[in-house]
């Protein structure tokens, strides 16, 4: 389906919701040739799932409810709705040099409006729950979450981070401009020292963040000085303060970390997940297993060429990390480190999240494990137990694909049916 057809379909869904109310209010039966049990790793069928009030009421009952409407999916494999634990729904890093100028040319309303389109594309790809791990100033990600929760626009359930927590001039600070332009402080996440990082965390929580994102090391897409891409940017004491304050507020911490020292320091501080984790050492593996820390790797973007307008320094940093990302993924998988699926969508076009599965498999992760990373493992990282599997009493977050993803993982790029909390957003 072309991007234009996807956008038209989203418009139809939105108009219908506004005019007639949620189309998922009735009792539904979703019928398909097969169902994937991600916990057991088995495919069975045929299957009929009864859905009432947004929840799964029964699976393959002897008799269907008399008032139910049957949605016949035919030769499809029914699966739980997918999770993406690393998105940037209100950002666009792949349209020329837009990512360089956006922080000074655009504003939070611009990014929130862009997020409406990107959230719709993400939902259409089968991802019904996401973490949005950092946005530009003004909380556009929180506004997007609230619009989706209200039913104003279609999109996945969003766990927004608000502003990145970053050192002054660090990877997640807005840099590269003349002094005095977009100079930010703790309210916008830019904070130094224990007192300031505590203020930064509290301010994000006050304004709706559901996860805290800290940039523990340098990164690829930044003009953050001449430090190496993986250089440590926060001390252990600062990272411990961030985690301690977030946990008191009921929030988990995701740490952007490429370099080994930054990874190890963040794990020791108690973060819940390491994002990217590009340069893992044996000590990193040991620490992550001891602490139960999740790795959220991004493999699909690792093999993508950067846009031709990308600065040479950014290209060089990306090239340096490419082989190390693969080595770290394989080391983590073989050692049994907890892993959840994350795509970094926004650095490449939104709606292509499903391509992460084939990239993981091509780099040594078995199909079932990759699927668990996007369902039950991601649910564990997020701290939710009401979704991620097809089971009685769980949320009716369902998708369907042609074929069997255990035989051909690329079918995850061809989602034909999407239901979130009992409401159908895509059916072909």
- Phi, psi of 166, deg, nearest 5: -145, 150
Which string of b and e fits 258-297 if b means at least 16 CB within 10 Å?
bbbbbbbbbbbbbbbbbbbbbbbeeebbebbeebebbbbb
The rounded distance, in Å, linking the Cα atoms of 258 and 277 is 5
Which one of the listed residues 92, 132, 344, 397 is annotated catalytic? 344
CB 50 within 8 A of CB 56: yes
CB 398 within 8 A of CB 419: yes
> In the annotation, is 420 catalytic?
no
Omega before residue 100 within 30° of 0, cis: no
Closest CA to 427 of 50, 123, 73: 73
Q: Please list, in sequence order, all residues whose beta carbon lies within 8 angstroms of the beta carbon of residue 64, skipping any fewer than 6 positions away.
A: 29, 48, 50, 70
Q: Please list, in sequence order, all residues whose beta carbon lies within 8 angstroms of the beta carbon of residue 138, skipping any fewer than 6 positions away.
A: 107, 108, 109, 111
The rounded distance, in Å, linking the Cα atoms of 427 and 181 is 47
Q: At what angle do helices 3-20 and 108-124 cross, to 10 degrees?
A: 100
DSSP state at residue 345: B
> In the annotation, is 289 catalytic?
no
User: In Å, how far are 82, 127, 282, 337, 397 from 354, measured between CA atoms?
Assistant: 9, 8, 30, 22, 16
CB 263 within 8 A of CB 280: yes
User: In Å, how far are 119, 251, 346 from 31, measured between CA atoms?
Assistant: 27, 38, 34
Instruction: Count CA atoms closer than 13 A to 332's CA, side-chain side.
Output: 29
CA dihedral 134, 417, 349, 223 (to 10 degrees): 20
CB neighbours (10 Å) of residue 108? 17
Q: 94: helix, coil or strand?
A: coil
Which one of the listed residues 132, 213, 252, 317 is annotated catalytic? 213
Site of tokens 């050492």: 281
Q: Which residues are catalytic?
A: 213, 344
């Amino acid at each position: 389906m072309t991007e234009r057809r996807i956008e038209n379909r989203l418009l139809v869904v939105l108009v219908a919701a506004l005019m007639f109310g949620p189309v998922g209010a009735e009792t539904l039966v979703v019928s398909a040739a097969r169902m994937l049990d991600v916990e057991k790793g088995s495919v069975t069928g045929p299957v009929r799932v009864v859905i009432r009030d947004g929840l799964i009421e029964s699976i393959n009952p002897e008799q269907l409810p008399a008032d139910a409407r049957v949605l016949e999916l035919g030769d499809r494999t029914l699966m739980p709705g997918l999770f993406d634990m690393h998105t940037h729904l209100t950002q666009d890093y792949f349209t020329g040099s837009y990512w360089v100028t956006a922080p000074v040319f655009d504003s939070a309303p611009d990014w929130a409006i862009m997020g409406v389109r990107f959230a719709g594309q993400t939902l259409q790809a089968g991802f019904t729950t996401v973490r949005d791990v950092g946005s530009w100033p003004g909380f556009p990600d929180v506004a997007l979450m609230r619009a989706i929760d209200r039913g104003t626009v279609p999109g996945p359930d969003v766990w927004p981070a608000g502003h990145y927590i970053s050192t002054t001039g660090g990877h997640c600070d807005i840099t590269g401009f003349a002094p005095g332009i977009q100079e930010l402080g703790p309210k916008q996440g830019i904070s130094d020292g224990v007192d300031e990082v505590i203020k930064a965390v509290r301010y994000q929580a006050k304004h709706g963040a559901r996860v805290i994102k800290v940039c523990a090391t340098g990164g690829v897409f930044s003009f953050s000085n001449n430090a190496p891409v993986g250089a440590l940017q926060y001390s252990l004491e600062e990272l411990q303060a961030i985690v301690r304050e977030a946990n008191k507020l009921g929030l988990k911490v995701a740490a952007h970390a490429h370099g080994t020292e930054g990874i190890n320091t963040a794990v020791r501080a108690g973060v819940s997940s390491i994002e990217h984790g590009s340069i893992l050492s044996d000590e990193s593996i040991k620490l992550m297993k001891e602490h139960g820390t999740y790795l959220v790797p991004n493999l699909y973007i690792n093999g993508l060429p950067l846009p031709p307008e990308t600065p040479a320094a950014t290209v060089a940093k990306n090239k340096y990390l490419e082989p190390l990302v693969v080595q770290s993924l394989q080391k983590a998988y073989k050692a049994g480190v907890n892993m959840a699926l994350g795509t970094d969508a926004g650095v490449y076009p939104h709606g292509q999240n499903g391509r992460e599965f084939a990239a993981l498999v091509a780099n040594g992760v078995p199909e079932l494990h990759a699927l668990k990373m996007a369902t039950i493992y991601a649910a564990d990282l997020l701290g939710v137990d009401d979704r991620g599997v097809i089971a009685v009493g769980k949320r009716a977050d369902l998708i369907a694909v042609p074929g069997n993803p255990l035989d051909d993982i690329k079918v995850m790029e061809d989602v034909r049916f999407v239901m979130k909390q009992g409401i159908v957003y895509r059916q072909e």
